[in-house]
Structure 1
Amino acid sequence: MNIFSNLLSQPAQAPRQKKQRRGIEIKSERELEIMRQSAKIVATVLKEISEMVQPGMTTADLDAYAEKRIREMGATPSFKGYHGFPASICASVNNEVVHGIPNSKKLLRAGDVLKVDTGAYQQGYHGDSCITIPVGGEVTPEAAKLIRVAEEALYKGIEQVKAGNYLLDLAGAIQDHVEANGFSIVEDFTGHGVGRNLHEEPSVFNFRTREMPNVKLRAGMTLAIEPIVNAGSKFTRTLSDRWTAVTVDNSLSAQFEHTVLVTADGYEILTDRSKV
C-alpha cells in the first residue's frame, strides 16, 4: 500500500504531532468540535483553489496559496514535512494518480485534470480532503465522465456510512459504481482513519478485499474516504521522486476525498465545501 495512506505501523511526523496511537479511536464531542474546525479550514482552502485555478498557473502557485490560507486561519499544513513530503498540497495532473509534488516550472493547461489534496492541523487534530478540478472548466468527454464518476463513487460510499454497517459495505458500493461505468479502482492506495493523527486505523478500502478485517462502524469514528479512479488500468508506478504515483498506461486519473464522521443513524461530512 502507499506511503501516505498506510503508515499505521510507523510514528507519525506531522508538525507538532505526537506519537502515533494504535487502534481505532472514537472521538468525544469535544474532539469532534475541534475536528470540525480543522475540516472547515480544509474545505475553505479547496473551495477557494477550485475557484482560482486557471490555465497558465503552476501547481507551486496553488501550494503557496494553500499554505498561506491554512496558516491565516490558525492551522498548520498537515502534509508539509510529513514523512519528508515537501509541500502543503499534493497536486497531481492528468496521469498522475496521487502525491504529485507542486512544481514551479510546469504550467497548467486548459483541459488538464488536476487533483488537489490537502490537510490542516490545529488544536491537535487534522482534517483531510481532495478534489479533482477540470482546468479551464472544459475537458474531454472521457475526462468529464471520469471526474463525475469519481465524485459519485465517493458519495456512493458515504451513503453506506452509519453505525452498524461495515467498511466493506462502502467499499463495495464504490467499486460497483466505478466498474459499472467502465473505469477501474486503484487498489494501491486506500482511505484511512483521521483525527489526532493524519493517518490512523482503520484502512478504508475502495474495493472488496479479505486483506484486512471487515471493521464494523461505530458512532464517533472519523474516516477519510477517498476513491481513486483510473480511466484505464488500475495499476500504478512511483516516479523517481519517490512520491508521485502515475498510471502504468498513461491513462487519466481522478480522486475525491472527504473526512466523514460516523453517527448513530448516518454520517456527517466534516469537509463539506458547500457549507463554507
Structure 2
Amino acid sequence: MNLFADLLASTRATTAPSPVVQAGPRIQKSRRGVEVKSAREIATMRKASRIVATVLREIMAMAAPGMTTADLDAHAESRIRAMGAVPSFKGYHGFPASICASINNEVVHGIPSAKRVIKAGDLLKVDTGAYFEGYHGDSCVTLCVGEETPEPARRLARVAQESLMQGLAHIKAGNTLLDIAGAVQDHVEAHGYAVVEDYTGHGVGRNLHEEPSVFNFRTRELPNMTLRAGMTLAVEPILNAGSKACRTLKDRWTVVTVDGSLSAQWEHTIVVSSDGCEILTDRDF
C-alpha cells in the first residue's frame, strides 16, 4: 500500500499518521527511524504476510466480470479476520475498506463499491494488508480480467511485475535504495513506460508505513541509504502507460492518470538478508 495522497504531509517520505478510526490498529510513526527486525519479529511478519498472500491469491482466482469491487473487499476482510488478523487498511486515515481496488487509469487508492462492476478487459489493481500479532504485511497485484484484456494492458502489467522483480534482485545488505530505484527505473523506461514518482514504497513492520521511503526512480531529493540485514520493506513500482502525472479525485482517495492512460502496480513485503532478500508475501506456496 502506498503513502496515501493528500492525507500525508508528503507522498515521498514517511510521516506521522492519524489515529485509526475504525477496526484497524492504531498506527503511529516509529520513533526509532529505520528499524532492523529481530528473528522473532521477522517470524511474525512472515505470518502476517502469508495472510496477505493467501487473500491476494484467492482474489486473483475469483475476480471475474460481473463481480463488484465491493465483493472482493468483503471477501478480503472476511478472510483476513478468519485467519486471526485485522485489515491494515480499514480505518487508516479514515479509509473505508480492507482493499484498494483501482481499475484501468486509476493509479492507487480506489475505494471498493457495490456500484463498481468489474468488466472483461479491465486492468484491476488490488492492494491489501493484514495486521497480525503487532505486525503488518502489505502487497499488491495487477489482474487482467478475462481473455478480452488487450495486449497493451497485458504488456503493461507484465512489465510492472518484472520491474518489481528487477528491484528485488538488487536487494541485499550493503546495497542501497538507489540500487533498487535504478533497477526499476531502467526496466520501466526501457519498455517505454513512465514511473509514477508521487508515490513510493516504504518500510513496514509494527507500523504500516515506516522509514525509509523506497523510491522507484533515481533522485537526489530523497535520502539514499545502505541496506542492512533485517530491514523489512514494501517495494512497489507503479507504472503509467503514458505520462507519469497523476491527480486525486474529489473523493480524496482515488488517484488517476492525468492523461487517462492505463496504470499498473505490483508490491511485495520483503526482508533484507546478507545475500539477497526473502519475499514474505510470496504467493507460491
TM-score normalised by length of structure 2: 0.94
Name the aligned partner's letter for residue 161 of structure 2: E
Pairing 1:198–2:208 present: yes
Letter aligned with residue 147 of structure 1: A
Q: Deviation per CA, 1:214-242, whole angstroms, max 9, x where unpaired?
A: 11000000000000000000000000000
The answer (yes or no) to whether the contact 2:105–2:260 under 8 Å persists in 1 is yes
1:10 aligns to 2:16 (yes or no)? yes
Pick from 12, 18, 41 the counterpart of residue 31 of structure 1: 41
Residue of structure 2 equivalent to 1:228: 238
The reply on whether 1:258 has 2:281 as its aligned counterpart is: no
- 1:185 aligned to 2:191? no
**Cα contact 1:238–1:246 (8 A) shared by 2:** yes
Name the structure 2 match of 1:52. Answer: 62
Query: One-letter code of the match for 1:106?
Result: R
Equivalent position SS for 2:102: strand
Deviation at 1:243, TM superposition (A): 0.3
Quick one: which of 254, 259, 264 aligns to 1:249?
Answer: 259
SS at match of 1:60: helix
> How many residues are treated as equivalent by the alignment?
275
Supply the AA of the counterpart residue of 1:165: N
Aligned-pair CA distance for 1:7: 6.7
Percent of aligned pairs with the same amino acid: 66
Residue 261 of structure 1 aligns to which amino acid in structure 2?
V
Q: CA deviation at 1:13?
A: 3.3
**Is the alpha carbon distance of 1:51 and 1:137 closer, same or farther for their aligned partners in structure 2, counting shifts above 3 Å?**
farther
What is the one-letter code of the residue matched to 1:244? T
User: Partners in 1 of 2:13 and 2:190 — Cα distance?
Assistant: 31
> How far apart are 1:11 and its partner, in Å?
3.5
- Match of 1:155, SS state, is helix
Code of the aligned partner of 2:268? H
Distance 1:201 1:115 in 2: 24
Shift of 1:6: 5.4
CA contact (8 A) 1:227 1:255 kept: yes
Amino acid at match of 1:69: R
1:70 aligned to which of 80, 83, 87: 80
Aligned equivalent of 1:119, options 111, 129, 141:
129
By how many angstroms is 1:20 displaced?
A: 2.1
Structure 2: 5+ residue stretches without partners: none
RMSD, aligned CA:
1.3
Flag structure 1 segments of 5+ consecutive residues without an equivalent. none
Contact kept, 8 Å, 1:39 with 1:120, in 2: the verdict is yes
Change (3 A) 1:96 1:196: same
- Give CA-to-partner distance per residue, 1:58-94, whole Å, 9 cap, x none: 0000000000000000000000000010000000000
CA contact (8 A) 1:12 1:20 kept: no
